[in-house]
């Protein structure tokens, strides 16, 4: 038996401002840091050893993981993988979700946020928000950097990385992944065998660890959010 723990980063500055963030590298708010600290304290109560830590290339997920590790008194190095980054929101990047709801209509914005294979218009490569112009991504091959993504695109890169780097470690030890709403939704789609309709309903709360109990055949036996006061519907459990 092993545990896989999925944690969406704590609240970020652009979460607070209700902006489409995607690959833009923004920091945690003070509340986000408290969420990360609470996540670490909840994981500590499990009294289990984390053998492998993973995160994206993005500051908000990295800092969430560092705060969790401080709570666990575990300074083990973690692996950063751009494949675990948030979904790229293309031309919506940096825009306010509420304002775009007024401009485009709530239904259209909902489609952009929740549909399986709908991509927003590409982000101009000259934009300051394009990953090509963000120092964090300078070592990623340019041909790998997207201009926009659907959830399907995000799923394909996340699950490809999961299969190549993480899945075979599940039977060896406990794993903690600090990532993003859509990269975790992608993992949940695979792990819980969700269809496209179910994944559209799945909401991942910030800074609330999802504990997944997996047996030696890599079958999920149970799962739960550690902070039940902020738990979201898991659709299948």
Residue 214's DSSP bridge partners are: 2, 220
Helix ranges restricted to H, 162-203? 181-191, 196-201
Q: Sheet harboring 52-55: ordered strands across?
A: 79-80, 52-55, 175-179, 2-8, 210-214, 220-225
3-state secondary structure of 128: coil
Q: State the chain's maximal CA–CA distance in angstroms.
A: 50
Q: Which residues are catalytic?
A: 9, 86
* C-alpha closest to that of 168 among 218, 125, 206, 132: 218
What one-character DSSP code corresponds to residue 29? P
Query: Angle formed by the axes of helices 106-114 and 97-104, to 10°?
Result: 120
3-state secondary structure of 77: coil
* C-alpha closest to that of 125 among 106, 140, 142: 142
Question: 207: left (phi > 0), else alpha (psi -120 to 50), else beta?
Answer: left
């Amino acid at each position: 038996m092993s545990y896989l723990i999925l944690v969406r980063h704590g609240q970020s500055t652009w979460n607070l401002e209700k902006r489409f963030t995607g690959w833009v590298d923004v920091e945690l708010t003070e509340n986000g840091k408290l969420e990360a600290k609470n996540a670490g304290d909840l994981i500590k109560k499990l009294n289990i050893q984390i053998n492998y830590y993973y995160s994206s290339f993005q500051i908000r997920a990295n800092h969430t993981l560092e705060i969790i590790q401080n709570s666990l008194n575990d300074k083990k190095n973690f692996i950063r993988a751009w494949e675990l980054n948030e979904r790229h929101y293309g031309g919506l990047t940096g825009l306010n979700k509420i304002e775009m709801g007024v401009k485009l209509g709530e239904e259209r914005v909902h489609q952009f946020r929740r549909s399986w294979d709908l991509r927003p218009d590409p982000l101009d490569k000259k934009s300051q928000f394009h990953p090509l112009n963000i120092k964090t991504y300078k070592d990623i091959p340019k041909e790998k950097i997207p201009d926009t993504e659907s959830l399907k695109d995000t799923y394909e890169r996340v699950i490809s990385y999961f299969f190549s780097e993480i899945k075979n470690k599940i039977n060896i030890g406990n794993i903690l992944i600090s990532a993003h709403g859509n990269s975790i939704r992608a993992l949940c789609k695979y792990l819980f065998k969700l269809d496209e309709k179910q994944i559209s309903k799945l909401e991942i709360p910030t800074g609330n660890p999802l504990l997944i109990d997996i047996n030696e055949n890599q079958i999920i036996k149970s799962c739960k959010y550690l902070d039940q006061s902020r738990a979201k519907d898991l659709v299948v459990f």
